[in-house]
Structure 1
Amino acid sequence: METDLIRACLADPDKLAAQRFSIFREVARLANDERTVAMARELVIRLLAHKATLPEGYNALLDALVREVGLFPYADHAKGRDLEDQILVEAHRVHGVGEERFFHSLQLSVFQELVAGRNVVLSAPTSVGKSLVIDAVLATRRHKRAVIVVPTIALIDETRRRIASTLGQSHDIITHSSQTRLEDGRPTVYVLTQERALGRKDLGDVDFFVIDEFYKLDVREEDDERTVDLNLCFHHLARQGAQFYLIGPNISSVGGLAADYRHVFIPSDFTTVALDIQHFNLRQRGEERVGKLVELCGTLAGPTLVYCQSPRSARDAARHVYVGCDLGTCDATRDAADWLAHYYPPEWEVVQALRRGVGIHHGNVPRAIQQYMVRAFEQGKIKILVCTSTIIEGVNTVAENVVIFDRRRNTKTIDDFTFRNIAGRAGRMNRYFVGKVFVLESAVEPGDHTVDLPVGRQDAATPLSLLLDLPEDSLSEVSRDRLAQAFGGSMLDAATIRANRYVPVERQDATCAAVAEILDRDPGLLRWRGVPSSPQLRTVCDLIYDHIDRGNSLRRHGIFAGDQLQAALTALMAADDLRQFVDRRVRERRDDVGISEAVEAALSFLRNYVGYAFGRQLMALSRIQADVILRRERGAPGDYGLFAAQADSLFMPAGLFALDEYGVPAEIASKLMRAWGRIDDVDQGLRMLAGADFDAINLHPFERELLLAVRTYLPSRAYAR
C-alpha cells in the first residue's frame, strides 16, 4: 500500500478496520528497512492513536513495531519479554529522574555520547524530548557545576520547575543574579539567560553547559545584542574546557565552531508525534480568514494554539474568537479574570478574553500571568490560547491543534524554519499522537537553516560588540585591526569602550563630547550618586535619548525626547503601584489609541525599556562620565549604579520584584510583604513562600491558587536554613 493511502485509512476508523492486516504488514516492511524507518515511525505513531480500538492480537504486534522503530516510551513494558528484549528495555530506562521513564532511540544515542564526554550539537523536532537528556545527564552527578542557558526568563522558570521536580533534592538550582551557591556538597545547576550568565563571576569552574535554542547563536542582524551575548557566553564557557550540549530544532548544518571544540553534530528528523498540516490559501486581508479562524475554534475539540504575528493581531484574533463563537462567561477562569480586572483596566482585551475562557500570551502580558495562561491551558481551564512568537521560544504546552492565523512574525513573512517551530507545538507524546496544523494562508517556501558562529568566522561583518569582549588570543588579525582602529580614534579609555560594548563606539564618542561640555558648564548635573535630583535626572535622560539610544528603542514606546523619558520615570517612581502608572498612561493616550493598546504599551515600556534597556544605558553613561572626570583629574566621578539597579526592579524592592519570575505577580508580592515585612532578596522571598500560612493572609481565591502552584515547584534552597 502507498503511504498516503495508509494515512487516509488511519484517519478513518472504518477504512482502518477494513485494511488493518494490510496496513500492519506494510508498516512492518517499512520498519525493517533502514531507508524507510522514519516513515514507518510516523505510521506507527498514527496507529498508536487507535490502540484502544484494535482487536486482540494486534496490540502485541503494534508493541513490537513500537520497539522496532525506537519509540520505547510508548512500549508496554509490563508485558513479559525474553531476556534479549528485557536487556534492550533496560538500556532505554532513564535512571535518577523520579518516575519511571524510558528513552527513545535518539535520546539514548545522544545520552550515550554525552556520558562518554563528547560535545553534542543536536538538531531535532520540537516534540522529540531533548530536555529529558539534560535531566538524565545531570542525574548521573558526573558534573559538579552545570549551566543551562535559555533564551527567556519564562523558560528559566519552566526549566527550573522541571529540574526541581526530578532533581530538586539532589541538586542546588540557581536562577537569579542575587543567588549564591549553598556550598553544601551538592552539584549546582544554574538556569540562566545569556545576560545573567555573563554577569556572574562564579562560573569559572563550570564543567557542563547547555544552550537551548542554539540557532540564536547565528548573527542575523548586526545590532542583535542578545545574539552577541549568547556567543560570548558560549565562547567563555567552552574556552575553559566545559563540555557542551547545544539543542535546537530544524538545523541543517553548523559552521564556525572552532577546531578546538570537537563535537558530534546530530541532525535528526526523529519525532514522537505525527502532524497533519492543512493549508486554506486565504488572503491576508478580508473576512474569509477571520471566518475560518472562528469556524475552526468553534469545532476543534482539543486544546488549540492560535499563532498571531503581534500583540495587536493576538488581541484582534482573541476577540474574533470569543465574539464569533459566542462564548459565555467561563467559570474556570472567573477568579483570574476578576483579579486582573482589579489590578488592570477591565476593558483590557486580556481580561475580556479570559472571562470567556480564551487565553492571550505575548511579550506584553506580565510574566507571572503568562505562566498562569500556560498552566491553565495545560489543565484544560483554557481551551484556546492565542499567542505570538513568545510561545515558540521553547515554552512547552500540551496542544492538539495549532492554527497559524498569520504567516508573519511582526511584519516579515516567516521562513520554513520558523513555520516548523510553530507547527511543532501541535501534538504531545502520550497525549495527542497526531497534531493538527491549520495554516489559514498559503504555504511557506521550504528551505534549510544553517547556523554560523561568528567567533569562528571573524571578518569585517562580525559585530564589534562581540570582538570587544573576546580575549586577545581569540581574535583574528582582521579583528585586531578593527579594534585598534576603534580605540585609536576615541578619546575614551579602551576599558570604557569594552565595558560599554552594547553602545556603538561612535555613540560613545558623541556622548563623551556632550559630557565634557556639561562638566564645563555645571559638573553637579553629572557628578551624583544614589538617586538623582530632578535636574540631574533630566540631564542623563537627555544624554541617553540624544546620544546613546538616539531614539532607536524609545520611539517605539512613544518617547521622543529626554524630558518625556524623565516624566515617565518620575511618574513610575511616584506611583503607589503599577495600576496607578498604567492608568495614567491610559488616560494620557492619543485619541486614536484604544485602551488595550495603551495598557500593553505601558507594560512593554516597563518590561522592555525600564526593566532591561534603561539600566544598561544609564551605566554606559556612568562609565563615560567617570572616564572623562578621572582623565581630567577633577575629583570623584558620579556613580549611577544604585539608580540603575532600582530601575531594573521597576523601583520596587528587588526581592519582591524577583518573585515575579517564580509566578508571583508584583501585586501579590506587595500584599505578602505587607504581611511578612520587607523581602530583601529572592531567596528570602522563597523561604517565606515555603513556610507561609496562607490562611493567615487575606488572599483572593486567584492569589491563593497562584501561590499554591508556585509552592509546588519551589527549589530545595527555599527550605534551607
Structure 2
Amino acid sequence: MENSQSIQALRAALAAPEAVASDPFGLLQAISTLVNNHPSHSIGREMVIRALSVQDLFPEDHKIILQSMVKSVGLIPYLDRELRGFDLQDRMLIEAHRPPIDEPGLLFHTLQLQIYRDLLAGRNVVLSASTSVGKSLVVDAVIASGKHHHMVIVVPTIALIDETRRRLSKRFGATYDVVTHPTQASDVTRPTIFVLTQERALARQDLGEVTFFVIDEFYKLDLRRDSTDRTIDLNLCFNKLARSGAQFYLIGPNIDAVTGLGESYEYTFIPSRFSTVALDIVVYGLPRDDEVRCEKLIEILPRLETPTLVYCQSPAKAALVAEALIDSKLFPENFATADVVDWLVREYPEQWIFIRALRCGIGVHHGNIPRALQQYVVRAFEQGHIKTIVCTSTIIEGVNTVAENVIVYDKRIGGPNLDSFTFKNIAGRAGRMTKYFIGKVFVLEAPPADDPSYSVEVGIQHQDEKTPFPLILDLPEEDLMIVSKQRIEDVRFESPISLATIRLNRHIPVEDQYAVHRVISRDLVLLQDSLAWKGSPEPHQLLAVCNIIYDQIDRGRSLGGYGVMSGVGLKAELDRLRMAKSFREVLDHWVVRKRFEESISDAVERGLRFMRRYVSFTFPRQLMAVSHIQAEIYDREGVAKVGDYSFFATSAESLFMESGLFALDEYGVPPELARRLGKGAGEIRTLNAGLGLVAKVDLQAKNLHPFEREILADVLASLGR
C-alpha cells in the first residue's frame, strides 16, 4: 500500500511545477529507483514520460540524468540530440535504432527494434501492445527492407484502408503498387502491397505470391467474443494466407495470451506493456442519466484546449451529445469549417446534426456518416480546424487520430456494457508519442471492473458443435476436425441444396436458404420468367425477387428498422434510389416520410443507414443467395435459361452509380461530387478510371466549390500528383 501511495505521490509531484522546481534531483532519484528495479520498470518508464512532459522545469545539468533514463527505458525517439553531453556512444545508439526508411528524425524505440529484427529473421510475430506504441512503423520498415515482393495488410475498416494507403503511397508509392479496391488488378511482376478488409482479401484470387501479411486488431479473430460474419471472414482470411506459407505479423492491444495457433504455426508472442505515453484517468461515477452526464461534459470540454474525442455508444447517442453541446451556446460559429458547411447544406437537409455540429466546430463521426465526410472530419481534426469529435467505435477502433484527451461518455458499446478490454482500447486513444506525453481520460460513468487477463482464441483450431457452420464449410478438408466433418456430412445428407451453393451463400443462414429453395421449387414453372433474368430486371422480376428476399430471408430483421414491411416496399425503395438524380432526392423522401417521433436529422441518418448498410451491403448478399439457389434448381431441371443477378448486385453495392465513381468515396471524394465529375464521361467501372477523371480536373475551374477544390487537392496529394 505504501508503495502504491508513493507512486501516486510521485505522479502528483511531477504534475506540480512547484514540486519539480523545489526538488528536481529527488524526483529523478525516485524515478531512477523504479527504472532500475525489474518489477517496477514499466512504472519507471511511465514516470520518465511524465518527467519529459515537464522537462523544461528541470535544471540543465539534471536533464542529462533524465536523458540517461530515457535510454534505459528504451524511449529512443525522445532522446534530445542537441543536449550537452550527447556523445559518440549515444550516436551509435541512435543509428542502431534507425529504421530503413529515409525520413529525417525517424527512430525505433526498443520494442519496435526487437519486433523488426524478429520479422526480418523470418519469425511469425504476434504482438500485443498499446495504441501509442507505433506498430505500423514496424510494418513500414519491413516493406522498406525489400525482403518481400508481395504483401497483404488486413485492416478492420474501409476508413483504415484509406489511411493506410495514404501512408504507404507517400513512403513507397514510387516502388510499390498499393492495391485497395476490388476493381484494381495487380501485376505479379511488380512489387505490390495489398491493403484490404478481410472480405476483400477473401474475394481476391491474386494473393498467391504473398510472402508476408499483417492482421491489424487480431483480437477480432476470437469467435467467443463475436461469431458474426466479419469474425468468420477474418478467420478464413488468416487461414487462407497462413496456409500459403506466408510469414505473419498479428497486432493488437491489451492481450495476455493466444491459443489456437500453436498446433499449426510457430510464432513469437510478445505481450508487452511498453508504452510511449502516460495516462491520467479521472472517474466521475455519474448515474446513467443523459442530462447529468451532458452537464458534466459541457463543464469539462471548454477547459480542454487540445484535441478531444468524446466516445458514445451509438450514432443516436452521438447525436444527443452533439445536440447538447450546440444548445450550450459555448461553441460559436467556426469559420474554419465554413466552406464545408456551405457545401453540405446544398447536398443534405440543413437540420442534419452533422451539419449543425460542424458549423460550431464539432465533428461527428460514426458508421452512418458517408465515408468521404468521415475522412474530412478526421482531416480537419488533424489540421486543428476542429478540436472536438463526438464519435462511436468507428473512430476508436478504425482510425488513428492524434488526440490528447478522450472523454468516455458511455460505458456501453451498442447495447452491452464495455468490458475492461474495450475500455482500455478506448482510453488508449489519448496521448501520442512525441506529440502528447500524457493522455487525459475522463470517464463520466463508473468504469468496468478491471480484468487482469485477456486471452484470444483463434477459432479454426477449436472446432466443436458450436463453431459457426459457414466457417467449417469453407475450410480445406485437412483443417477439419472429426466433429466438423460429421456436421458437414449431416448437412450434405439432408440438404436439398448442394454444399457448393451453401458455401457461396455462407453469409445467409442455411435455414433461410432452405426456405428460398422451397418457394422456388414449389412454383418452378410459374416463377421461371420472374427469376430467369440477367443484367437489370424488369419491374415484375425485381418484385418477385424482393418478395422472396423479404418473406424468406430478411423477414423484417434488417428491413423492419427502416420501415420497409414487404417485398413491394423494398422494390419501391430500390426503384427510388435507382431513378434519383441525386442522393439529396432520396434523403428528402426519407424526411417527408419520417416517423412522428423522429427529428429531421434522425430521418436523414436512417436514410443514409439504409443506403450504406442495407442497399450497399446486406441486399447484394441476399440477392446473390436467391441467384445461386435459382440457378442450381433450374440447372438441375435442365432449363436452358437461368438467372444471374451479379450485375444488379454489383450495381446495388455502388448505390446504382458507376462503380468506379462510387469507389472514389473511399479516397475522400463524396458521391455527389463524383457523379458530377463523371457526367458525360461514359462508363467508369474501376477505381483507377475514376482516379483518372480526378487527375484531369482543373482545380481552378469556376464551377468547383471551394470545398470541392480542397477535397480534390487532398486526393491528388495522396496520389503523389
TM-score, length of structure 1 as denominator length = 0.97
Q: Distance in 1 between matches of 2:392 and 2:719?
A: 28
Relative to structure 1, the CA distance from residue 351 to residue 471 in structure 2 (aligned partners, 3 Å threshold; closer, same or farther) is: same
Whether 2:59 is the aligned partner of 1:55: answer yes
- 1:461 alignment partner in structure 2: 466
Offset, 1:326:
2.7
* Deviation larger for 77-86 or 666-675: 77-86
Unaligned runs of 5+ in 2: none
Paired letter, 1:604: R
State how 1:47-446 maps to structure 2 within 5 Å. 47-78=51-82, 81-183=86-188, 185-220=189-224, 224-285=228-289, 287-446=291-450
Q: Distance in 2 between matches of 1:99 and 1:89?
A: 12
Q: Distance in 2 between matches of 1:300 and 1:578?
A: 37
Contact 1:274-1:435 at 8 Å conserved across structures? yes
Q: Distance in 1 between matches of 2:393 and 2:299?
A: 23
User: Which of 617, 620, 625 is the matching residue for 1:615?
Assistant: 620
Contact 2:430-2:439 at 8 Å conserved across structures? yes
- 2:717 alignment partner in structure 1: 712
Q: Distance in 2 between matches of 1:223 and 1:264?
A: 26
Whether 2:585 is the aligned partner of 1:577: answer no
Offset, 1:694:
1.3
Once the two structures are superposed, what CA deviation does each residue of 1:550-592 show, in whole Å capped at 9, x if it has no partner? 3322223332221111111011011111111111111111211
- 2:518 alignment partner in structure 1: 513
Paired letter, 1:218: D
State how 1:563-642 maps to structure 2 within 5 Å. 563-642=568-647
SS at match of 2:23: helix
Relative to structure 1, the CA distance from residue 675 to residue 530 in structure 2 (aligned partners, 3 Å threshold; closer, same or farther) is: closer
Paired letter, 1:422: I
Offset, 1:697:
5.4
- 2:35 alignment partner in structure 1: 31
Q: Distance in 2 between matches of 1:286 and 1:210?
A: 40
Once the two structures are superposed, what CA deviation does each residue of 1:495-551 show, in whole Å capped at 9, x if it has no partner? 111111112222211110111123232310111111111111111111111222233
Contact 1:97-1:167 at 8 Å conserved across structures? no
Q: Distance in 1 between matches of 2:552 and 2:715?
A: 43
Q: Distance in 2 between matches of 1:52 and 1:700?
A: 46
Paired letter, 1:634: V
Contact 2:198-2:234 at 8 Å conserved across structures? yes
Whether 2:709 is the aligned partner of 1:701: answer no
Offset, 1:69:
0.6
Offset, 1:255:
1.0
Q: Distance in 2 between matches of 1:16 and 1:149?
A: 46
Offset, 1:54:
2.6
Offset, 1:391:
1.2
* Deviation larger for 325-334 or 682-691: 682-691
Paired letter, 2:363: G
Contact 2:24-2:62 at 8 Å conserved across structures? no
* Deviation larger for 677-686 or 168-177: 677-686
- 1:451 alignment partner in structure 2: 456
Paired letter, 1:429: M
- 2:562 alignment partner in structure 1: 557
Paired letter, 1:192: L
User: Which of 5, 10, 14 is the matching residue for 1:6?
Assistant: 10
Relative to structure 1, the CA distance from residue 463 to residue 264 in structure 2 (aligned partners, 3 Å threshold; closer, same or farther) is: same
- 1:545 alignment partner in structure 2: 550
Relative to structure 1, the CA distance from residue 203 to residue 584 in structure 2 (aligned partners, 3 Å threshold; closer, same or farther) is: same
Q: Distance in 1 between matches of 2:430 and 2:689?
A: 39
Q: Distance in 2 between matches of 1:26 and 1:234?
A: 46
Paired letter, 1:197: A
Paired letter, 2:423: F
Once the two structures are superposed, what CA deviation does each residue of 1:130-158 show, in whole Å capped at 9, x if it has no partner? 11000000111111110000011000000
Offset, 1:78:
4.5
Contact 1:94-1:100 at 8 Å conserved across structures? no
Contact 2:25-2:62 at 8 Å conserved across structures? no
Relative to structure 1, the CA distance from residue 288 to residue 533 in structure 2 (aligned partners, 3 Å threshold; closer, same or farther) is: same
Paired letter, 2:685: D
Offset, 1:245:
0.3
Q: Distance in 1 between matches of 2:227 and 2:88?
A: 59
Contact 2:215-2:251 at 8 Å conserved across structures? yes
Whether 2:481 is the aligned partner of 1:476: answer yes
Once the two structures are superposed, what CA deviation does each residue of 1:240-291 show, in whole Å capped at 9, x if it has no partner? 1000000011111111115221111100111111000010011111532111
Contact 2:286-2:446 at 8 Å conserved across structures? yes
Offset, 1:430:
1.3
* Deviation larger for 330-339 or 55-64: 55-64
Relative to structure 1, the CA distance from residue 222 to residue 182 in structure 2 (aligned partners, 3 Å threshold; closer, same or farther) is: closer
Pairwise CA RMSD: 1.6
Contact 1:211-1:246 at 8 Å conserved across structures? yes
Contact 1:519-1:526 at 8 Å conserved across structures? no
SS at match of 2:447: coil
Q: Distance in 2 between matches of 1:247 and 1:697?
A: 47
State how 1:491-502 maps to structure 2 within 5 Å. 491-502=496-507
Offset, 1:223:
5.1
User: Which of 652, 671, 676 is the matching residue for 1:671?
Assistant: 676
Offset, 1:676:
5.7
Offset, 1:87:
2.6
Offset, 1:409:
0.9
* Deviation larger for 677-686 or 355-364: 677-686
Once the two structures are superposed, what CA deviation does each residue of 1:328-384 show, in whole Å capped at 9, x if it has no partner? 211001111111111000000110010010110000011000000011011111111
SS at match of 1:359: strand
Q: Distance in 2 between matches of 1:210 and 1:441?
A: 36
Q: Distance in 2 between matches of 1:670 and 1:437?
A: 42
Offset, 1:162:
1.0
Q: Distance in 2 between matches of 1:223 and 1:6?
A: 45
Q: Distance in 2 between matches of 1:8 and 1:493?
A: 67
Paired letter, 2:211: D
